[in-house]
Amino acid sequence: MILVTGGTGFLGAHLLYHLVNSGKSVRALKRIESYTNLTEKIFSYYSEDPQQLFNKIDWVEGDILDYDSLVDAFSDIDYLYHTAAVVSFHSNDKHQLIRTNIDGTANVVNAAIEQNVKKLCYVSSIGALGREDATGLVNEETPYRPSSKSSVYGKSKYEAEREVWRGMAEGLDAVIVNPSIIVGPGEWRQGSSQMFQTMWNGLKFYTSGTNGFIDVNDVANAMIVLMEGEYSNERFVLSSENVGYKQFFEWMADAMGIARPKYKAGPILSNIGSIALKIKGLVSGSNHTITRETARTANQKYQYSSGKFLKATRMSFIPVKESVEKTTRFFLRDFERSYKTSIQ
């Protein structure tokens, strides 16, 4: 039996689809207050009978911050995928990031050991890699050095990784994946999928930075390959290509049939924009994806290597341009459906 934490989230839902679609017996952890709407929506992107697949999931209530609920949920589990996490670059989410990402992962590791889980796959992030002072390609061996420029999110994932390494030292068989920016259909108002909504709303600016990108289905399939193969007590960077934000935005705009962003936003202008949006958020009570941390990152040139993973598995990744175009088709389909519903 397989268990997935974070199955109501973007990556977790895609992982669940691939697992149940291949005939695996799957249990998914769900908090009492969370909903499965996004999971069902994501299943509908890939299946003609999504409800039939969705109904194969054994949903159990639990919370990674509630240790006893994990011990119960992990009973008779052989393989455990831990995707549950808080993803935020807002400073006011620091406490939640630490509790969920670090303390929650510690609970998952401890419960897995107690229940004799055979293998764990932990989803970390490129934010947990040592990229701040790196020159050239960042890989699994690039040492992490916390600095004032490091995001709280990145620090939380790094510390969570340490909990997994601690579990390995105590006898837990595990692998860690460090995906770059994940591209794919999901909740268009949050996470990386929100980039498509932002572009559709009329994004006018681009930045000079470079980052790694990878399709969400590549991440899910890579995790399954690592769990089912003879890979143990290692970490793997997952990134398809290093692409400039300008190019990435242009691919999105072209796929949507709208004007490309034509104004370059340097570090100063990006920072001013993040401050303005923060003030707006304080007034409206909402959070925006553009913060000082994301604005700074958008002007940095980060490059990542998945050479270790590709050599070990002989897999190949979807080109980022193809991933953008495919995701845009899902976005436009959802937009058309919501528009028709609103005028009825």
The pLDDT of residue 160 is: 96
Q: Which domain holds residue 95?
A: 2-184+213-241+303-319
Q: Is 273 a member of any domain?
A: no
The pLDDT of residue 277 is: 34
Taking alpha carbons only, the member of 35, 326, 17, 18 closest to residue 196 is 326
Instruction: With beta carbons less than 8 A apart as the criterion, state whether 280 and 288 touch.
Output: yes
Taking alpha carbons only, the member of 194, 217, 222 closest to residue 121 is 222
Q: Is 277 a member of any domain?
A: no
Query: Tens digits of per-residue pLDDT, 263-320?
Result: 988 664 444 333 333 323 323 333 445 555 655 667 788 899 999 999 999 999 999 9
What are the residue ranges in the chain where pLDDT is below 50? 268-288, 344
Please report where in the chains the tokens 């691919």 appear, as a residue: 251
C-alpha 189 chain-centroid distance: 15
- Read off the amino acid at residue 301: K
Q: Is 194 a member of any domain?
A: no
Q: Is 63 a member of any domain?
A: yes
Q: Is 279 a member of any domain?
A: no
The pLDDT of residue 98 is: 87
The pLDDT of residue 281 is: 35
Q: Is 113 a member of any domain?
A: yes
Q: Is 191 a member of any domain?
A: no
Counted domains in the chain: 1
Q: Is 200 a member of any domain?
A: no
The pLDDT of residue 52 is: 95
The pLDDT of residue 135 is: 64
The pLDDT of residue 297 is: 65
| Terminal CA-CA length for the chain | 45
The pLDDT of residue 337 is: 78
The pLDDT of residue 298 is: 72
Quick one: three-class SS letters along 221-235?
HHHHHHHHCCCCCEE
Quick one: three-class SS letters along the chain?
CEEEECCCCHHHHHHHHHHHHCCCCEEEEECCCCCCHHHHHHHHHHCCCHHHHHCCCEEEECCCCCHHHHHHHCCCCCEEEECCCCCCCCHHHHHHHHHHHHHHHHHHHHHHHHCCCCEEEEECCHHHCCCCCCCCCECCCCCCCCCCCCCHHHHHHHHHHHHHHHHHHCCCCEEEEEECEEECCCCCCCCCCHHHHHHHCCCCEECCCEEEEEEHHHHHHHHHHHHHCCCCCEEEEECCEEEEHHHHHHHHHHHHCCCCCCEECCHHHHHHHHHHHHHHHHHHCCCCCCCHHHHHHCCCECCECCHHHHHHHCCCCCCHHHHHHHHHHHHHHHHHHHHHHHHC
The CATH number assigned to the domain holding 27 equals: 3.40.50.720
Please provide residue 301's backbone torsions phi and psi, each rounded to the nearest 5 degrees: -105, 90
| pTM value surpassing 0.85 | yes
CA distances for 257 relative to 112, 186, 205, 264, angstroms: 48, 21, 17, 20
